[in-house]
């Protein structure tokens, strides 16, 4: 969790499982693309840094954040992945739209995690301002895409630990 005392992209590299031989999907929203593009770059580069081959990273775009969970479902069912990362950015506006989209994506990701034996990693920024989003997409709070990639590798390792 990002706080004034912790950067999202701070981690001990020796504690991160190796991604060699793993296949990971990333579903990224086109909406707020200046932010989501940075999140995607962070996630992709971190996965490669920890051994995932570029050809084993399946990237799909969807129009908006609400569509992230359907994109993740398709990748789970059709692409033979070990985990899926969803990346999006919803910025608070003047209407309740923000709340509905954030709740829908959150519940959708939870439902996918319960339905499939594949970790679905939540990389949705839910900020009040564009400045807050920038701070979490490569700014002073690091890059949530990095954090999502690290989380994917850790959850794949946990999943494999308990497979029979």
Architecture of 32-159 per CATH? 3-Layer(aba) Sandwich (3.40)
Q: Domain extents for the chain? A: 32-159
Residue 1 confidence (pLDDT): 44
Q: Quick check: 75 and 148 in contact, CB under 8 A?
A: no
Out of 8-12, 76-80, 85-89, least confident range: 8-12
Q: State how far the Cα of 56 lies from the Cα of 155, in Å rounded to an integer.
A: 17
- Residue with the bigger pLDDT between 138 and 61: it is 61
Question: What CA–CA distance (Å, rounded) separates 113 from 134?
Answer: 28
Measured N-to-C along each axis, helices 97-115 and 68-78 cross at an angle, to the nearest 10 degrees, of 20
Rounded CA separation 118/69 (Å): 13
Q: What is the predicted pLDDT for the residue at 2?
A: 47
List the catalytic residues: 97
């Amino acid at each position: 969790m990002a706080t004034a005392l912790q950067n999202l992209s701070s981690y001990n590299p020796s504690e991160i499982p190796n991604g060699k031989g793993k296949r990971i999907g990333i579903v990224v929203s086109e909406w707020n693309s200046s932010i989501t593009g940075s999140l995607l770059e962070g996630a992709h580069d971190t996965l490669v840094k920890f051994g995932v081959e570029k050809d084993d990273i399946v990237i799909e775009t969807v129009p908006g954040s609400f569509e992230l969970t359907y994109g993740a479902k398709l990748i789970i069912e059709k692409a033979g992945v070990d985990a899926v990362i969803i990346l999006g950015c919803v910025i608070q506006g003047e209407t309740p739209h923000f709340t509905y989209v954030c709740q829908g994506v959150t519940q959708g990701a939870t439902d996918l995690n319960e339905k499939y034996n594949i970790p679905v990693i939540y990389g949705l920024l839910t900020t009040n301002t564009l400045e807050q989003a920038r701070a979490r997409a490569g700014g002073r709070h690091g890059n949530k895409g990095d954090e999502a990639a690290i989380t994917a590798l850790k959850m794949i390792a946990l999943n494999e630990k308990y497979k029979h």
